[in-house]
Amino acid sequence: MARKKGTITRINMGRKIIDDHASNVEYVSLDPRYWRVGEDVFFDATTRVDSRSGLYIAINLSRRS
């Protein structure tokens, strides 16, 4: 399965918000490592965090495909 590509659009309280280019859905990653806004990232899949906010955790977030 191909990895998904996205761009970090904002970082808030350690959460990285990613814009998925394919679906324009925002994802949140709870990974505490360092990331920058505007950085392109890759991830395998997502899992829902909060149905009201529509946020997701990106699984296996990395800088390389």
Whether 55 is covered by a domain: the verdict is yes
Whether residue 65 is contained in a domain is answered as: no
Does residue 27 belong to any structural domain of this protein? yes
Give domain status of residue 37, yes or no: yes
Query: How do residues 7-64 score in pLDDT, each as one tens digit?
Result: 877 766 556 666 665 554 566 655 556 777 788 888 887 776 666 766 677 778 788 8
Range of the domain at 35: 4-59
* Number of domains into which the chain is organized: 1
Chain centroid to CA 8: 7
Between residues 4 and 34, which one has the greater pLDDT?
4
User: Residue 11: which CATH number?
Assistant: 2.40.50
The confidence band for 4, taking pLDDT boundaries of 50, 70 and 90, is confident
Whether 15 maps to a domain, the answer reads yes
pTM score:
0.61
Q: Is residue 64 part of a domain?
A: no
